[in-house]
Every structure is written in C-alpha cells, then in structure tokens.
Amino acid sequence: MERLNLKNISIKTFTPEDEKKWEEDQKMLKIKEIELRKLDYKMSMGFLKNEKIPSFKEFNPKLQNKNSNSYKEILDLLETVKRWSESDKGWLTLIGGVGVGKTHLLKSAIFRANGYYLTAYEFDQRIKDFRSGMEDKNTLIFTDPDEWLSRIANMKRHLVIDDIGAGYIQRGWTLSRFERLIDLRYRNQLPTAIATNLDEKTLDLELGERINSRIRDRNYAIVKIISYGQDIRRINRNDKY
Ligand SMILES: Nc1ncnc2c1ncn2[C@@H]1O[C@H](COP(=O)(O)OP(=O)(O)OP(=O)(O)O)[C@@H](O)[C@H]1O
Ligand SMILES: [Mg+2]
C-alpha cells in the first residue's frame, strides 16, 4: 500500500484570530442580508430606496396650536387614518392644504398595513408608459401597464394614491384609467385612500361625477376635509418633540 506523503498536503490551521474574523464576516453577511430584505420590503410597498417612511408615532398633533380647532381636527385625522389602516375595506379621501400631514399619515398607514403607496404623478407615468413600454420601477421586470393597472385594482392590500390634483390624473387617458382603477376597487370593496390639495368643488370638477359618487359612498367611505390645520413645514419640528 502506498504511503501518504504528508509533506505535500498543506492543511490550513485556524488561529483564534482567523476564527474571530470568520465570525465577524458572518455577522456582516447577516446584516447585509437583513438590509437587503428590508429594502425589498420597502420597495414592495412602492417606496423609494432612500425614502424615509414616517411613522404614526412620529406624528404629533400638538404641533398644531393646542388650543385651537386645528389641534382637534388633526388629532381626529390621525385617529381616522389609523382606523383606515386597520380596516380591510374602508375608503378614505383626505382634502386639505399643504403641510398638514396627509402624506405623513398615509405613508405610516401603508407601512403598518403592508400596502402600496403611489402618487398621482407615478400613476400618470405608468399609464402613459403603457404605450411606449417600460420597465417596472421596482423589480426592473417589464410589466404591461394594463396588467399593472389590473393588479393594483384587484390587490387586497391597502392602496394610497397621493397628491391628486397636482395636474396629473385629470387628463383624458389617465383619467379614464384612474376611473377604471377606482371603479374596480370600489366594486371589490378594497381599502383605498386618496389625498389632495384641491378644494372639494375643484376635486368634483376634476375627477368627474363617476369617481366622486364612489369616493363619497356613505356606506363605507369617509371624506375628511382639513380646514384648520396649519402647514407644519413652517414649524421647527425638532424643538417641539
Ligand atoms: N403633526 C405632525 N407631527 C409631526 N410631523 C408632521 C406633522 N404634520 C406634518 N408633519 C411633517 O411635516 C411635513 C409635511 O407633512 P406632509 O408631507 O404629510 O404634508 P401634506 O399634507 O402631505 O402636504 P402636501 O399637500 O404639500 O403634500 C412632513 O415632514 C411631515 O412629517
Ligand atoms: Mg403630501
């Protein structure tokens, strides 16, 4: 029998330092994996890679003047959006001026409910890209925009369409697709919220009767008009927390 020549075999010996380094590398890999998973999760809700997602906890109605109507109004807004995030079929429309906290609360709701956040601008882009073809902003996989529309119209997840009235939805083609989205979600009774700066009358005019009748269905839709809330962007928030 041939004898094994141990001189030709190099066996790596692990020093305690090697071992420590290996353990650190493993830890780093785990952290990276968790970060990637978090990012995936974030993007699956429609958020951008570096977007900060504000929480309900960070929302402080006391930033509004405590002794005024605006405080009560904004406290009520917080409670309403929280309830919406917990309901599985509610409809919510937020109408109010700039900086009162609409987007903050709707993003918090989407994060809590693992829903999908979208702006009217993004909706418009998606629908227009139907005709030229595009890549999915999140997955980088091509999705036919009509297919995309039908997916978001039928998904059970909470859906937010923010910033309606910044001039995007209310144009022929986009409006007709938006009407289809609203109609499908309405018929399926799926939780949907929209937010706008437009006043009630202008919203009615811009979106048309069919959409308005649905978002105002008294059986399960709430329209919240914020009339007193102040623009919190004008307030130095850090001092007040
Ligand atoms: N009550 C609050 N507590 C803490 N932060 C707030 C509050 N209200 C608003 N903010 C902060 O003020 C900024 C503006 O709020 P937000 O973007 O939600 O306003 P908006 O109503 O969506 O305004 P716009 O109509 O201009 O989109 C955000 O940074 C938000 O986190
Ligand atoms: Mg906003």
| Residues making up the chain, counted from first to last | 241
| Coil vs helix vs strand at 2 | coil
Ligand 1 lined by 120 (C-beta under 6 Å): no
**Any domain includes 52:** no
Segment 159-202, tens digit of pLDDT:
999 999 866 666 677 888 898 999 999 999 999 999 999 988 88
CA-angle at 172, arms to 142 and 188, nearest 5°? 65
Cβ-based burial of 155 (10 A; exposed 0-12, middle 13-18, buried ≥19):
middle
Structure token pair of residue 6: 């141990």
Q: Is residue 49 in a domain?
A: no
One domain for residues 39 and 79: no
Is 2 part of a structural domain of the chain? no
Per DSSP, helices labelled H in 52-119 are: 69-86, 102-113
Q: Are residues 33 and 133 in the same domain?
A: no
Q: Is 198 left (phi over 0), alpha (psi -120 to 50) or beta?
A: beta
Residue 132 has pLDDT above 50, yes or no: no
Rounded to 5 degrees, φ, ψ at 240 are -95, -10
Q: Ligand 1 pocket: which of 92, 103, 111 to mutate (most atoms <8 Å of CB)?
A: 103
What distance separates the 2 farthest-apart alpha carbons in the chain? 97
Same domain for 137 and 19, yes or no, is no
**What's the domain range around 164?**
61-234
Query: How many Cβ atoms from other residues are within 10 Å of residue 150's Cβ?
Result: 14
Question: Do 119 and 219 share a structural domain?
Answer: yes
CATH code of the domain covering residue 195:
3.40.50.300
80 with 17, same domain: the answer is no
Mark whether 70 and 24 lie in a shared domain. Answer: no
Q: Are residues 215 and 129 in the same domain?
A: yes
**Residue 118 pLDDT > 70, yes or no?**
yes
> Is 163 strand, coil or helix?
strand
Question: What percentage of residues in the chain have a pLDDT greater than 70?
Answer: 85
Residue 34 and residue 66 in one domain: no
Which CA distances in Å does 184 have to 56, 109, 119?
29, 21, 18
Residue pointed to by tokens 């059986």: 219
Whether 98 is in a domain gets the answer: yes
Q: Which residue's CA is the closest to the ligand 1 atom numbered 4? A: 59
Question: Would residue 1 count as lying in a domain?
Answer: no
Query: Do both 177 and 222 map to the same domain?
Result: yes
- Number of domains comprising the chain: 2
Q: Is the CB of 99 under 6 A from ligand 1?
A: yes
Residue with CA at minimum distance from ligand 1 atom 14: 99
Which ligand number lies closest to the CA of residue 63?
1
Query: Does any domain span residue 154?
Result: yes
Coil, strand or helix at 236? coil
39 shares a domain with 70 = no
User: Quick one: the chain helix, strand, coil %, rounded to 5?
Assistant: 55, 10, 35
The verdict on residue 156 lying in a domain is yes
The verdict on 117 and 152 lying in the same domain is yes
Would you say the CB of residue 100 lies under 6 angstroms from ligand 1? yes
The minimum-distance atom of ligand 1 relative to the CA of 64 is: 1
241 to 103, 191, 236: CA distances (angstroms):
19, 32, 10
Could you identify the atom of ligand 1 that is nearest to the CA of residue 63? 1
Q: CB 184: neighbour CB atoms within 10 A?
A: 16
Q: Whose CA is nearest to atom 9 of ligand 1?
A: 101
CA of 100 to the centre of ligand 1 (A): 5
**Do 16 and 89 fall into the same domain?**
no
Q: Is residue 186 part of a domain?
A: yes
pLDDT digits (tens, 9 = 90+) for 58-114: 999 999 987 788 999 999 999 999 999 999 888 999 999 999 999 999 999 999 999
